[in-house]
Amino acid sequence: MKRGWAGIFFGLALAACSTVPVEPGLTSRAMQPAGEFVLNGRIAIRHNDKRQSAGLHWTHRAGIDEVLLLGPLGQTAARVYRDGYGAVLEDGSRRYHAEDAATLMEKVLGWQLPLEGLPDWVRAQPQSGLPAQIEKDPLGRLARLRQSGWEVRYQGYAGEAADSLPTRLQLQRDDLQVQLLIDEWKPN
């Protein structure tokens, strides 16, 4: 799987030309109370001096996540599914299982997404029940969040309101950096 990611970088550059803008009026309150959402965007990974990128389609429901990593022409390069029973990663005809998505992604892809906290972080909120350090920008929006060993920097929002949804995030942990560009938000 790791060797196939080089082509996805090129496709990501092409996909950048055809994005759907995020609705400026859509706020984090629109994603409440269940916090369920669908987002489309792009992801770029830098890990151990290697770079990878892909299109991203993520469906989040209570306790369930489905992340599709998309190739240059929109085809699914990998599918990660996580629920209360564990995680599955499908890569073409291969299927991998593990107890959690982070371990599975690290093993198969060489990097991980923190799917435990990320559903809250992409909505500009700390993960509930865990200690966090928060910095806000002059408009009252989250600028930086440190939680569970991750640092999340909020680099763009859909609007000026304090509860606007993020459109650009950078996650950092050790030698792993994840850039997440969100082109489209939908309440699920």
CATH number of the domain to which 158 belongs: 2.50.20.10
pLDDT band at 83 (very low <50, low <70, confident <90, very high): very high
**Mean pLDDT across 15-30:** 48
On whether the pTM is more than 0.85, the answer is no
Residue 74: what pLDDT? 83
Residue 5: what pLDDT? 44
Among 2, 115, 18, which residue's Cα sits nearest to residue 72?
A: 18
Whether 92 has a pLDDT exceeding 90, the answer reads no
Q: What is the average pLDDT score of the chain?
A: 85
Side-chain-side CA neighbours of 119 within 13 Å: the count stands at 23
CA separation for the pair 185, 31 (Å, rounded): 10
Q: What angle do CA 182, 86, 62 make, to 5 degrees?
A: 50
Which range among 59-63, 133-137, 152-156, 170-174 shows the weakest confidence by mean pLDDT? 59-63
Among 163, 178, 188, which residue's Cα sits nearest to residue 47?
A: 178
Whether 84 has a pLDDT exceeding 80, the answer reads yes
Which range among 31-40, 77-86, 89-98, 165-174 shows the weakest confidence by mean pLDDT? 31-40
Q: What is the extent of the structural domain holding 127?
A: 2-187
Residue 35: what pLDDT? 80
**Mean pLDDT across 141-167:** 96
CA separation for the pair 1, 90 (Å, rounded): 10
CA separation for the pair 74, 164 (Å, rounded): 28
| CA R_g for the chain | 16
Structural domains of the chain, count: 1
Contacts of 133 (CB under 8 A, 6+ apart): 144, 145, 146, 147
